[in-house]
Structure 1
């Protein structure tokens, strides 16, 4: 077995499609044994693409399911080296006055409590086994500053960045590194409607036009960044949020649709 992650044990949440699927398959191709979690049956399709990927149906924001995910990896592989907390939901683009507390609670449950559970149970297993490891959470450029997502989504991803920083400090001396990747616009199940709408209007060339590369990203490009953060090449990278966004967050330009008391035309 060869590759950067030869013989290593990896778990990936939200692995049924998009960034999660690309990440699980990249680790598998580079020698890792992967347990891929998703609440959708599409995780079976991910596993069908590589024999080193074991599919597991479950909720990344349910503590029992996350504990079972980690336990499965340890029982099958004898260790746990990498945790990728990728599962997330967008919550749409509704504004502050269009959202209720229940909307925020549902989104925070997946986007913020989910990564917390992955860190909690993943780090605990690594500590019990007594070997260093890496944890990577999927945040977003929307968590860095305004203009890249709705209020609830943006706040949840800012929370992920803070969680990563805090966890890195809490795990000081353990050899466990905790980092986040902050994707820009990427074509996934979460953004499919946006991409399809642009194509239907013949405006596909406008996708990603606000970043210096003038294009959207691919799931494989985010997976490559996640793999870097989990690899030995990033052995001195800890508590960081790496933007992978074509340069969007270097300025975060955006057209303000409307303000309080204003209406759209």
Structure 2
């Protein structure tokens, strides 16, 4: 078994399910000591599963967009595992399917707080601890929705576009620190965020249409994102910095969508 993260201290937010859970378990399987963080109490099950498999993990419930919670998370990881080597700011919310003109400032503020301010806080507070260890990696989950229109509701898309620029800016601001900052842009992945769409497709016998717009003609699995996350966090990606790595089955090579005309209801 590979052990790329033996002796490494790692934080993963949004670790209760989906991409976060898969990544936390993958880090632990390769020797990492993982702090699993999430607002959902199910994060404790993720940590328990890691420990049951012989790994090292502890769980913390928190609001990833609240600074006091992020500070506490970083302090916990530092105290428990001697510092921080990898920070994966993965926690996020979808915002539903609200159109641009139907959105409210409150909805926008909540999505931006979790999806964009959350990664900012993770970088702000984890980077100094990573620097203390001589360097390491910071990852953020963005989305193909942050690349261009057609893959998410307006506030979600805007928040993820912000994450992409945030990692670029952070990579520059941390120049000379030996801390690399990158984003992952998943396409359609089967997670709690997309569960309703997957369940509906299966209920009506249209599971074969899931992911039909990308060249691979399928949706992705959380483990497929986790493998990219581990690469970016490892020394194998030692010269990858300030990038948004797309993992979407080829969807964003064209971003095909069924466009709804303004003022008209889709048939």
TM range (shorter): over 0.9
Q: Contact between 1:3 and 1:31, CA under 8 Å: does it hold in 2? A: yes
| Counterpart position of 1:63 | 67
- Ranges in structure 2 where 5+ consecutive residues have no aligned partner: none
Deviation of 1:130 (Å): 4.4
| Counterpart position of 2:263 | 261
The answer to whether structure 1 residue 98 and structure 2 residue 102 are counterparts is: yes
| Counterpart position of 1:113 | 117
| Counterpart position of 2:239 | 236
Deviation of 1:264 (Å): 2.2
- Rounded to whole Å, the distance in 2 between the matches of 1:240 and 1:263 is 38
CA deviation profile, 1:31-67 (whole Å, cap 9, x unmatched): 0000010111100110111121211111111111111
User: What is the aligned length?
Assistant: 263
CA deviation profile, 1:179-213 (whole Å, cap 9, x unmatched): 00000000100000000111111000000000010
Backbone CA RMSD of aligned residues: 1.0
| Counterpart position of 1:26 | 26
- TM-score in terms of structure 2 length: 0.97
The answer to whether structure 1 residue 46 and structure 2 residue 37 are counterparts is: no
Deviation of 1:133 (Å): 0.9
Question: What is the SS of the residue equivalent to 1:53?
Answer: strand
- Rounded to whole Å, the distance in 2 between the matches of 1:210 and 1:260 is 22
| Counterpart position of 1:147 | 150
| Counterpart position of 2:13 | 13
Give 4+ residue runs of structure 1 displaced > 2 Å after superposition: none
Question: What is the SS of the residue equivalent to 2:101?
Answer: helix
| Counterpart position of 1:84 | 88
Deviation of 1:16 (Å): 0.5
CA deviation profile, 1:217-249 (whole Å, cap 9, x unmatched): 000000111111101000000000000000101
- Rounded to whole Å, the distance in 1 between the matches of 2:128 and 2:117 is 16
Question: What is the SS of the residue equivalent to 2:16?
Answer: coil
Deviation of 1:263 (Å): 2.1
Q: Contact between 1:25 and 1:53, CA under 8 Å: does it hold in 2? A: no
| Counterpart position of 1:190 | 193
CA deviation profile, 1:89-124 (whole Å, cap 9, x unmatched): 000111011111111001001000000000000102
Deviation of 1:2 (Å): 6.0
- TM-score in terms of structure 1 length: 0.97
Question: What is the SS of the residue equivalent to 2:12?
Answer: strand
Q: Contact between 2:64 and 2:118, CA under 8 Å: does it hold in 1? A: yes
Deviation of 1:87 (Å): 0.2
- Ranges in structure 1 where 5+ consecutive residues have no aligned partner: none
- Rounded to whole Å, the distance in 1 between the matches of 2:58 and 2:82 is 15
